[in-house]
A and B are shown apart, each in its own frame.
Chain A
Amino acid sequence: MLATRRFKSLPLAPVIRRNSTAAGPPPPEGHSPTIATSQLLRSTKERALRTPGLVWNDDEPSNAIVSVGRECRKMNVYQSVRDALSIALTKNDNAVVFGEDIAFGGVFRCTMGLAEEFGRERVFNTPLTEQGIAGFAIGMALMGHTPIAEIQFADYIYPAFDQLVNEAAKIRYRSGGQFNVGGLTIRTPTMSVGHGGLYHSQSPEGFFMGASGLKVVIPRSPIQAKGLLLSAIRDPNPVIFMEPKILYRSAIEQVPIDDFELPLGRAETLVAGADLTLLTWGTPVYSCETALHMLADPPPALAPHVPESLRKAKVELIDLRSILPWDAEAITQSVSRTGRLVIVHEAGMTAGVGAEIAAEVQKRCFLRLAAPVKRVTGWDTPVALQFEKFYIPDAVRILDSIVETLSY
């Protein structure tokens, strides 16, 4: 049935190979990692339980430091989001989940079975009105409840912009701290899938970066999604939680089934290095991983463009995770060591999140910088459907920028 206004039939399965470096068998470009084979994903229980920064949130606090023997289950991102929502609903009777089409499971299946499990009073469909959804959620949060609302696509969050930026972000401040909507969490699928065009590919995180009072979080994987979402739900501030939609099915990890949280406002270093800092969040994390692989071991077609002398370079890969507030300390600490920074995001360059970070880094690390801060981003155009492969920054563009910055 194609009766979707928001293209819920947008097929995800065929687009897992988003990254152009993964296109076409046999790979003439060598065997660079893709999302499916990423080393950044914690595919064993042992690695999952060693996730940095993970804090157990047990009913019995005495067990909270014990990781050994905890159960994990293989999940993709939509399953881990569902798992987090289920935990939130179970542990907090004031928590409710709502949005367009979420009762049948949601366009991306993140709410599958929740309505049956927790009842329609707590998990329910709304009419198609994003401003209404945000306003309704703010109202519940004002009463101390825990609304977890879904905006079906981040591209459609703009009707809710007024409620989020003028209301959710400012209520605590304008009431002198008397009122707040700390219980509010807005989940929304973000970024490109490779064939979404203008209105199913956007990365609007930058638009919210100036809205102090809000937090903005983007996870990269199932473990991250679960831990960060539970933190977002429990954080005493309104949080916009953007889930990269191509990762819903393609990113798979062993995910601890217990209740746990990961810290907001903290970046995570995924690969340590001393020569260049590569900073990103969401889907491009995996393009960056591919680019690092290409740098160290370039396939023949790229080898002429990667000087031998640079192939041993140690690049530090950092996942920013929280866009607002962002972890300036971790980034500047890294750049102070490496002297070089490349920022990758899917949104356009102008006034993107990279602009803010570049400005702050040049202030804090001015004398340490050995090269200009480089941004690898979408172009300053809308996302054009048939042109997406040359719009979204891919591994080759990232590699090229790394080489250029290293040889500056």
Chain B
Amino acid sequence: MFRPLSSSRRLPLARQVHLGHLPHTRSPLVPTLSFFNSVTGSDEKIPTFRVLDGVGKPVDGAQLPEIDEAFARRLYENMQLLPTLDTVLYNVQRQGKISFHHGEEATVIGSAAALEPDDEVLGQYREMGVLLWRGFGIDSVFAQCFGNQDDTSGKGRQMPVHFGSPTHHFQTISSPLATQIPQAAGVGYALRRSPDRRSRSIAACYFGEGAASEGDFHAGLLLASTIPSPTLFIARNNGFAISTPSTEQYYGDGIASRGPGYGIDTVRVDGNDILAARRRTLEQGRAVLVEAMTYRVGHHSTSDDSFAYRQRSEVEDRKRIDNPLARFRLFLEAQGWWNAADEEELKARLKADVMKAFKHAESLTKPELGELFTDVYAGEEPWNITEQRKELTGLLKKYGETWEPWRTELARFKNKGQDLTQA
């Protein structure tokens, strides 16, 4: 007897009548036709794990990770650095001094802190926080964003916030979306095959919920599960990609629901608490998917002291905003590890540091013009690259001194193009 499908009346799969199995699968045979469209076995959405509530108090039953005052303060200082940097970069972009800027998420610091410093990171372009946590430095950030002669990430070749640093185990960023996801599976597998990294390092791959729509997401998770590798996939879900809300990116239960489809251990968390997920990745040597429900800390709301809170109403405001930065600050204060004076000192110091680095970066020239032709290949340079460098050099000798638009542009390069013309 068939009943019309009603999801609320659907029997949990485990309680259905058993008729044995098909020969090649452990799927139980059942006499009732039952469609399913959930990984929780019910109408419930996948739950979200959370440690701190909206005002920074540990929620009932949650176990706080063990962190001491120094570590907590360092976390908070780095979290605050991001919006400070963001504000300056945003304004610099508006002034046309750099071509592009992406907002950052302060909570990325939490995940960075949970990783070991030499876990290999494959990011999208909101993971500057990982680099800052690892000591990349504000100067290096600005050098990359300005593409100046000190840009160690890519010699001025890439758009702003496309960082990369082998020293910091941070793979080079690419604009195309999701390409890093299958690469992360390969990085994880290589780590497993490296005697000195096996059982010690993981690959950590960040991406947004929009990128999870790309084919590379599915390919990457599939490979990481069928070819087991210690790869931690961190999907940031901030509710919208570009102008398109997440309701138009997917119809299912977020990104987390896809993990079990690939046989991948999955958890949804509030913010970026991935300590347990990292441990699981490493211990099992298998991929883990974390869907981090995040919030962007907008430039405008953090550029001033509007968050200075002394009155209860403002605390209520924050609770409404449920800003992880504010929540963590409240947590620190509750521990007696932070106060308004600390906050004031920190903000002033960060602002001064950032402005100093910005001014320095702005004063530097671009890399040498000859870098236009380097790094295409390693080893012997193909003839076409060599000839094209010569062709440009010849043109510069002919027009570079007299043709004003070229002369002006050449002056912006380190050594004004003489690395080519005087060579």
Contacts and interface: CB of A to CB of B under 8 A. Distances in A.
Partners in one complex: yes
Interface of A: 1-11, 14, 20-21, 23-24, 28-29, 100-101, 103-104, 125-132, 155-156, 158-159, 195-200, 301-302, 304-305, 349-350, 379-382, 384-387, 389-391, 396-397, 400
B420 to A, nearest CB: 10
B99 A385 contact: yes
8 contacts: A9-B100, A11-B99, A21-B405, A127-B210, A127-B248, A301-B402, A380-B385, A390-B372
Given A380-B384, A381-B372, A155 B175 contact: yes
A376 B243 CA distance: 38
B240 A3 contact: yes
A155 B210 CA distance: 18
B331 to A, nearest CB: 27
Given A197-B99, A197-B159, A127 B250 contact: yes
Given A23-B405, A29-B403, A385-B147, A390 B392 contact: yes
A379 B409 contact: no
Interface stretch (B38-46, B211-219, B309-317): B211-219
B211 A128 contact: yes
B165 interface: no
B372 A7 contact: no
Contacts of A131: 215
A200 to B, nearest CB: 7
Contact of B242 (A5, A132, A302, A389): A5
Nearest to B179: A159
Nearest to B238: A3
Contacts, number: 179
Interface in B366-423: 366-367, 369, 371-373, 376, 382, 384-385, 388, 392, 395, 398-399, 402-406, 408-409
Given A9-B100, A195-B99, A198-B158, A387 B177 contact: no
B177 A20 contact: no
Contact of A390 (B175, B250, B369): B369
B409 to A, nearest CB: 5
Nearest to A11: B96
Interface of A is mostly: loop
Nearest to A20: B405
B324 interface: no
Contacts of A7: 100, 159, 175
A155 B176 contact: yes
B405 A29 contact: yes
A398 B103 CA distance: 40
B398 A305 contact: yes
Given A5-B241, A349-B384, A379-B372, A387 B157 contact: yes
B408 A24 contact: yes
A385 B214 CA distance: 26
B243 to A, nearest CB: 5
Contacts of B335: none
Contacts of A128: 177-178, 210-211, 213-214, 241-242, 244, 249
Contacts of B162: 197
A75 to B, nearest CB: 24
A29, A101, A132, A197: most-surrounded residue (chain B CB, <10 A):
A197
Contact of A199 (B156, B176, B215): B176
A328 B230 CA distance: 55
Contacts of B176: 155-156, 158-159, 199
B177 A386 contact: no
Contacts of A195: 99
B208 interface: yes
Interface in B340-356: none
A372 to B, nearest CB: 14
B174 interface: yes
> Top 6 nearest A-B pairs by Cβ distance?
A199-B175, A127-B213, A386-B156, A384-B157, A20-B405, A386-B147
B359 interface: no
Given A3-B242, A3-B243, A381-B376, 9 more contacts: A5-B242, A11-B99, A23-B408, A199-B176, A200-B175, A386-B147, A387-B372, A397-B395, A400-B398
Contacts of B214: 128-130, 159
B296 interface: yes
A63 B399 CA distance: 54
A100 B372 contact: no
Nearest to A195: B99
Given A155-B176, A386-B366, A387-B371, A349 B243 contact: no
A128 B213 CA distance: 5
Nearest to A381: B376
B286 interface: no
Interface in B151-171: 155-159, 162
Contacts of A382: 157, 376
Contacts of B404: 24, 28-29, 301
A2 B382 CA distance: 40
B329 interface: no
Nearest to A382: B157
A319 to B, nearest CB: 25
A384 B156 contact: yes
Contacts of B372: 379, 381, 384, 387, 390-391
Given A101-B243, A198-B175, A301-B404, A379 B373 contact: yes
B318 interface: no
Given A128-B210, A155-B176, A386 B157 contact: yes
Contacts of A1: 243
A381 B373 contact: yes
